[in-house]
Each structure stands twice: as C-alpha cells, then as structure tokens.
Amino acid sequence: MTLQVLQVLDENESRDKSRKVLFGIEEGIKRGNIHTHGNLYGYKYYPKPENRLEIIEDEAEVVRLIFSLYTDKGYGVHRIRQYLTENGMFARSGKPFSERGLRVMIQNETYSGRAVRKKFTNGLVFDKHTTRETGHAIIFETDKIPAIVDMETFEKAQRVLESKVQHTTQKGIYTGKTQFAGKLICGCCGSPYYASGSDIIKSAGGRVRNYACKAKRTMNRDEDGNRVMLCNNPNVSEVTLNQFIQGSSYAFHIWKKAEFGILALNSLTAALMCQINKQDIKAVSDLREKLADIDGVFYAAYHGGRAHGVRVSDGVANFGGA
C-alpha cells in the first residue's frame, strides 16, 4: 500500500514538472526568447538581457556557399568538406569542417531566421540512443535571429537531405561499411540486412561474408519469458547476392536485346507492307490504264451500236480478280 502511494505521488510530481516546463517554453516563445550558444558558426551571440544573434558576414558567406553547393551543385557533405578545405575555408577552430558538422549546419533552422525548441531529447537513462529527435519540435519566427539563407533555400536543402539515404551516419547505429550494408531489406519484417560474420567457402576461393536480418539478430521474450527471435528469415551469403545481381543484369541485357529485335522486326514488317501496298496500287493503276485503252478501241468499233454495246470497264473487278 505504501509503495503504491509513493508511486502515485511520484507520477503526480512528474506531471507537475512537465506542465511547468511546457508552460515555461510557451511563455519563452511568446516573448521571443532564443536558446543558443556563442559558438554557432555565422553568428555572434549576445546573451541576456539582449538575447539575440548578429550575423558575422565573412562566416555567413561560407554558410551560403555550403547551402548553394548542397542544393544547386548537388555536392554531398564529403565533397563540400573537400571543397572548403582546398579553398582555405575552415571552422573557427582553424581545422577543416567535419562532415557531421556540415550536416548539422544544413539541418539547423537558425540559419533560416527561426528559433526551435524541444527538437531533441536525452531519452531514457538506459536507452541505447542517448540523444535523438523528439519529432515534436516547436519552430517559431523571431526578430532576434537574422536569416543567413532564405526559407526557399533552406527547405530545398531539407528535401535534398531527405532524398538521400544516410545509412552510415545515423547516430548510435552502426550499419557497417560492407558493400550491401543497410541496402538489403527483409521481405518478412521490413528490417535491413547487415553483415553477420563470414564463412570459408572453397568454391568461392576463400572467406565469404553473410548477411542477416537485423530483427533476427534482436532477441525478445514471449509471454512465458522465453527468448525468441523477432524474425526467422534466413541469412544470405555475398556469393548468392552477387550471383543474383549478375543473373538479373544478364536477364535484363537479354530482354533489352529481345526488345530491340522486336522493334526492328516491327519496323521491317511495316516497311514491307508499305512497299507491297505501293506495288498493288501501281499494278492496279497500270491495269486500269490498259483497260481504258481497250475500252476506247471497243467503243470506236461499235460506235453505231451503243444500245447493244457492253463496256469492258464494267468487268474490271472480275478481270482484276482473275
């Protein structure tokens, strides 16, 4: 009984703290308060009571260049990092920009002149992912943050970012650096396949890597407390994958050749039919000219007996059929 009372009191205290925190955030948004630090590249931060950001134009030009390379030139963060380093553009520390830092910069709403709250959470105490996005970020306009890039450019950068699959850069998740890591999807549960060791296969000439479903590698407990796998889809070897890819590529090549052959045959058939039709028309035209000449001869011979004469052209159809 005492334990239940303590649990209820603890839950009420937690709810009360949550309400107070949310109320404080809402009031801060109404006043336009921003939460940032003095090391945000492109800005100079003036703490309270001013609580505002001011653009550092030299750094802002680099920020605009980064967004331009990403959205207009199609550069990835790795190539942008190389470009900046080769052209002598470095972070405030004097070191080259990191790829993770560039990616965070592209995702930062602050550069579009907006403030954001409740974007990240520390998660549970024993959670594998200590920091992650909440999915319930509060983004609001404020005159305390001047925009370095316009809204259209920022939103375009987000669309480009979403269109790219960042397998190896997800925080807290290691997908491996193998050829097929994170690219194979399980047909049973929809989880990705990752490398799960290797076997020595003599026919393959040595060690061959195997891939297994991520859910299969994750154990869970059923209602009776027994450990069970979340997926039973079989593993697949790299040899099988390569054979499948080569077979699919060969089949596609054969299909394309067959498709080209069919198109060529259709074109040839149409050309032959057109030629045959032209020959028929010319033959009929020559025949009619000859019949017209014969008609003239007959009429000249039977000029006086029109009533009893029979025009040869009346039998053209029958003659042509013969």
Pairwise CA distance, residues 220 & 216, whole Å = 10
pTM, 2 dp: 0.46
Q: Is residue 222 part of a domain?
A: yes
Q: Is residue 2 part of a domain?
A: no
Co-location of 221 and 303 in the same domain: no
Q: Is residue 241 part of a domain?
A: no
Q: What is the pLDDT of residues 244-281, one digit of tens each?
A: 777 655 556 566 666 666 666 666 666 656 655 555 66
* pLDDT score recorded for residue 171: 47
Q: Which is nearest to 152 in space by CA: 71, 53, 57?
A: 71
Q: Is residue 6 part of a domain?
A: no
Co-location of 144 and 40 in the same domain: yes
Co-location of 26 and 155 in the same domain: yes
**What sections of 32-98 are H helices per DSSP?**
57-71, 77-86
* pLDDT score recorded for residue 77: 92
* pLDDT score recorded for residue 252: 61
* pLDDT score recorded for residue 118: 58
pLDDT confidence tier of residue 153, bands split at 50, 70 and 90: very high
Pairwise CA distance, residues 97 & 82, whole Å = 9
Q: Cβ-count burial of 45 within 10 angstroms (0-12 exposed, 13-18 middle, 19+ buried)?
A: middle
What rounded mean pLDDT belongs to the chain?
Answer: 71
* pLDDT score recorded for residue 208: 74
Residue type, 29: I
Q: Is residue 154 part of a domain?
A: yes
237's CB contacts (< 8 A; 6+ apart) are 199, 201, 208, 209, 210, 211
Q: Is residue 172 part of a domain?
A: no
Output Rg (C-alpha) for the chain, integer angstroms: 39
Q: Cβ-count burial of 272 within 10 angstroms (0-12 exposed, 13-18 middle, 19+ buried)?
A: exposed
Q: Is residue 179 part of a domain?
A: no
Pairwise CA distance, residues 168 & 191, whole Å = 16
**CA 235 from chain center: how many Å?**
26
Q: Is residue 156 part of a domain?
A: yes
Range of the domain at 220: 184-234
Q: Which is nearest to 217 in space by CA: 192, 239, 183?
A: 192
Co-location of 229 and 253 in the same domain: no
* pLDDT score recorded for residue 244: 73
208's CB contacts (< 8 A; 6+ apart) are 198, 199, 200, 201, 237, 238, 239
pLDDT confidence tier of residue 69, bands split at 50, 70 and 90: very high
Pairwise CA distance, residues 141 & 128, whole Å = 34
CA atoms within 13 A on the CB side of 17: 6
Q: Of 211, 234, 257, which marks where a domain is finished?
A: 234
Co-location of 228 and 302 in the same domain: no
Q: What is the pLDDT of residues 180-192, one digit of tens each?
A: 666 778 888 888 8
Q: Count of domains in the chain?
A: 3
Co-location of 28 and 136 in the same domain: yes
